[in-house]
Structure 1
Amino acid sequence: MSTLTIKIVEVNIENWYACCELEVAEEQKQYVEPNAVSIAQSKFELTLKPLAIYTGENVIGFLMYNSAPEELDSYWIYRIMVDQQFQGKGIGKAASSLMMDEMVKSLNAKKIAVGYHPKNLGAHHLYASLVFIDNGDRFGKEMAVVKNV
């Protein structure tokens, strides 16, 4: 686990560009949209909530979830990414836990879902560590896993 203290903050005028500059490792780029695309998406799909992950004053990651329930009677996580320099330190897990706590508190979420490509082993390990369950749901090329909270 990381010794870094992290917090999550809504994407705003002060941090949106720093979020856009973050990058995942080269082998992960095929699995995740650039943060700029996600931020733009949130300006048109107003139920999407983009969040910046901070350590101290530095933006080191990006999250986004939908504040309206969708398929599988769940609230969906749309993005979890940590800049390549900060990966492997438990930051994704810690930030995801903070985000899910926010979803439960603000939305009274009972089920949270996330979709990912089955070959994305990093995502698989992250979601398994957060106790997401694979019930066999598939959407196109992605599998969906669900957490009951």
Structure 2
Amino acid sequence: MNLQEITKDNWVDMIDLEIATEQEKYVALPSEAIAASKFYDYYVNRGVYLGDKPIGFIQYHRNYNDGKYNEIFIDQLLIDVSVQEQGY
């Protein structure tokens, strides 16, 4: 498993990820999170990959809100519904 930067070459992989309908109230879709990150330059977006296969998305940033810059705040994390409950 590895994290990859979101680029013009793989952003479609991220917006194609799916979650169950009941999970939508807990996490933003990658398209929404990527769009929001354009207004907060400290957000970091990464694709979660298993080899070359995109299986998830994570958005994180340093904990600027609490002044704890050595901490990482995970804002969004999702695993595609097709590989959920498999330990990822």
Query: Normalising by structure 2, what TM-score?
Result: 0.86
The runs of at least 4 aligned residues of structure 1 exceeding 2 Å deviation read 71-75
Name the amino acid aligned to 1:69. Answer: Y
* Deviation, structure 1 residue 39: 0.5
For residues 126-137 of structure 1, the aligned pairs below 5 Å read none
Aligned length, in residue pairs: 86
Name the SS for the 2:38 alignment partner. Answer: helix
Structure with the larger RCO, 1 or 2 (CA within 8 Å, 6+ apart):
2
Structure with higher helix content: 1
Q: Give the equivalent residue in structure 1 for 2:9.
A: 14
Coordinate RMSD, CA, aligned: 1.6
Gaps of at least 5 residues in structure 2 are none
Query: Normalising by structure 1, what TM-score?
Result: 0.53
Structure with higher strand content: 2
Gaps of at least 5 residues in structure 1 are 1-5, 92-149
- The alignment-based identity, stated in percent, is 29
For residues 1-149 of structure 1, the aligned pairs below 5 Å read 6-67=1-62, 69-71=64-66, 73=68, 74-91=71-88
Higher Cα Rg, which structure? 1
